[in-house]
């Protein structure tokens, strides 16, 4: 009889544990739990998987302004060029205008000459940098949050709620993303109002997407028409309120002296070709971020919802799952997802959903200019958002300026 007692106790404990996973008692606002019969996290109401007692037990504790994080960084961090932001901590290479960082042995910010703590190559690399006056301070976090909110409000071309019906289906944990298992039988996009794509910036953006071959190591050869399409896109976005906000802000910060100087720099940093593999000029920031590439048998880049929708519609993208759904109740929103692109897997791919091309182009450009190689902490509709960018470290344009290697959303809790 005594031998049965431990078994009975274990069985009772197991039943109690299982019962706990059918209730939100002591589980309010916990992380998503795949083993639970129902959920008690902050987004369960959106996914329709809350426990029956969620509203009674958890609704008072919920803070609508605190979005849940996704902490899994994308594989671009692993693919980033050696040294990431700069080749040595004692150099200003790719560090011009960066914010003061007390952990660095020398500095490259606007006020380092005043404090006598500049790196030795500061004057050569940064002192006469085109379009930037070192009488101004580096862009602060508060300034970044303010301008990002202005850009958010200015995005009049974004999708409205009725324009997109998403079917996000199965949410998984970050560790499960490595499994490469298709947990979503249906496409991500149930409906998209394609009238959006007739708007000038959308149309100009879509024209660019078929200009590239996705495999790295194969040179890109752009003809007159493709180059004209780049100019058409830049002209279209510069005519929007979104880019006018960004242009005005950066000129106020003394980063550019004219709109034309800003446009020229955007064209170089986004569309300038460089070599990710072999010696061919096989890549650009725009191709990587918005169109997507294949490198070493994996999808890299591919951070755009329009591209995703169009490839999914053609049967080339298979949506597998997602690990994060942003806190926004309107567009643009953020989704971090897993998918297969015509035979190649993307473990974590973040993308704005429902945003206009100019909105994404502006935020990524802002963060690359203000925080190259670092987390860029923004604010959208009162919610925090962080974007990571990396400069390409192996080649430059102009006076030592860097091309964009990648840009993507990494978190909304920074």
| SS3 per-residue string spanning 220-240 | CCCCHHHHHHHHHHHHHHHCC
Position 133 scores a pLDDT of 37
Instruction: Report how far residue 45's alpha carbon sits from residue 401's, in angstroms, rounded to the nearest whole number.
Output: 47
Position 132 scores a pLDDT of 40
Q: How many CB atoms lie within 10 A of CB 259?
A: 14
Instruction: Report how far residue 192's alpha carbon sits from residue 382's, in angstroms, rounded to the nearest whole number.
Output: 26
- For residue 272, give every residue at least 6 positions away whose Cβ sits within 8 Å of its Cβ, in sequence order, or none: 284, 285, 397, 403
Position 12 scores a pLDDT of 46
Q: For residue 290, is pLDDT > 90?
A: yes
Identify the band that residue 55 occupies on the pLDDT scale cut at 50, 70 and 90: confident
Q: For residue 382, is pLDDT > 80?
A: yes
Percent of the chain residues past pLDDT 70, beyond the cut? 78
Which residue shows structure tokens 């953020």?
334
Q: For residue 65, is pLDDT > 60?
A: no
pTM of the model: 0.73
Position 285 scores a pLDDT of 94
Helix (H) or strand (E) holding 335: strand 333-341
Q: How many CB atoms lie within 10 A of CB 370?
A: 25
Position 28 scores a pLDDT of 84
Which of 56-70, 171-185, 296-310 has the largest mean confidence?
296-310
Identify the band that residue 102 occupies on the pLDDT scale cut at 50, 70 and 90: low
Which residues are tagged catalytic? Answer: 288, 303, 346
More confident residue, 48 or 191: 191
Q: How many CB atoms lie within 10 A of CB 34?
A: 11
Identify the band that residue 64 occupies on the pLDDT scale cut at 50, 70 and 90: very low
Residue 87 CA neighbour count, 13 Å, CB half: 9
Q: For residue 385, is pLDDT > 60?
A: yes
Helix (H) or strand (E) holding 384: strand 383-397
- Decide: helix, strand or coil at residue 276: coil
What backbone torsions phi and psi does residue 161 show, to the nearest 5 degrees? Answer: -55, -40
How many angstroms from the chain centroid is the CA of residue 95?
A: 21
Q: For residue 103, is pLDDT > 80?
A: no
Q: Tell me what the mean pLDDT of segment 74-98 comes to.
A: 49
Position 221 scores a pLDDT of 81
Position 127 scores a pLDDT of 55
Identify the band that residue 45 occupies on the pLDDT scale cut at 50, 70 and 90: low
Q: For residue 235, is pLDDT > 80?
A: yes
């Amino acid at each position: 009889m005594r031998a049965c007692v431990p078994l009975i106790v274990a069985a009772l404990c197991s039943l109690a544990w299982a019962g706990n996973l059918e209730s939100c008692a002591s589980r309010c606002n916990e992380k998503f739990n795949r083993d639970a019969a129902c959920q008690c996290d902050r987004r369960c109401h959106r996914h329709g998987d809350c426990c029956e007692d969620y509203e009674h037990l958890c609704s008072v504790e919920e803070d609508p302004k605190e979005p849940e994080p996704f902490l899994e960084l994308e594989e671009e961090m692993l693919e980033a060029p050696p040294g990431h932001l700069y080749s040595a901590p004692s150099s200003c290479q790719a560090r011009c205008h960066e914010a003061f960082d007390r952990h660095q042995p020398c500095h490259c910010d606007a006020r380092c000459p005043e404090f006598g703590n500049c790196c030795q190559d500061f004057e050569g690399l940064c002192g006469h940098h085109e379009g930037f006056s070192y009488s101004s301070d580096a862009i602060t976090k508060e300034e970044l949050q303010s301008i990002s909110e202005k850009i958010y409000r200015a995005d009049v071309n974004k999708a409205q709620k009725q324009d997109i019906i998403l079917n996000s289906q199965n949410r998984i944990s970050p560790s499960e993303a490595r499994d490469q298992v298709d947990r979503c039988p249906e496409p991500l996009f149930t409906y998209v109002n394609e009238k959006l794509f007739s708007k000038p910036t959308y149309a100009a953006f879509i024209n660019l997407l078929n200009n590239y071959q996705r495999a790295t190591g194969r040179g890109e050869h752009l003809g007159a028409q493709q180059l004209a399409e780049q100019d058409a896109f830049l002209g279209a976005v510069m005519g929007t309120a979104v880019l006018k906000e960004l242009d005005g802000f950066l000129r106020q910060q003394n980063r550019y002296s004219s709109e034309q100087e800003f446009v020229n720099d955007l064209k170089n940093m986004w569309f300038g070709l460089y070599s990710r593999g072999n010696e061919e000029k096989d890549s650009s920031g725009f191709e990587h971020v918005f169109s997507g590439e294949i490198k070493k048998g994996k999808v890299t880049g591919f951070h755009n919802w329009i591209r995703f929708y169009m490839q999914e519609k053609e049967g080339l993208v298979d949506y597998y799952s997602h690990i994060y759904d942003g806190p926004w109740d309107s567009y643009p929103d953020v989704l971090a997802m897993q998918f297969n692109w015509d035979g190649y897997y993307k473990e974590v791919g973040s993308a704005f959903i429902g945003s206009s091309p100019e909105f994404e182009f502006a935020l990524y450009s802002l963060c690359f200019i203000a925080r190259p190689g670092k987390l860029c902490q923004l604010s959208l509709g009162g919610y925090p958002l962080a974007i990571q960018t990396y400069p390409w470290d192996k080649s430059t344009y102009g006076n030592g300026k860097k091309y964009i290697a990648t840009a993507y959303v990494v978190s909304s809790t920074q």
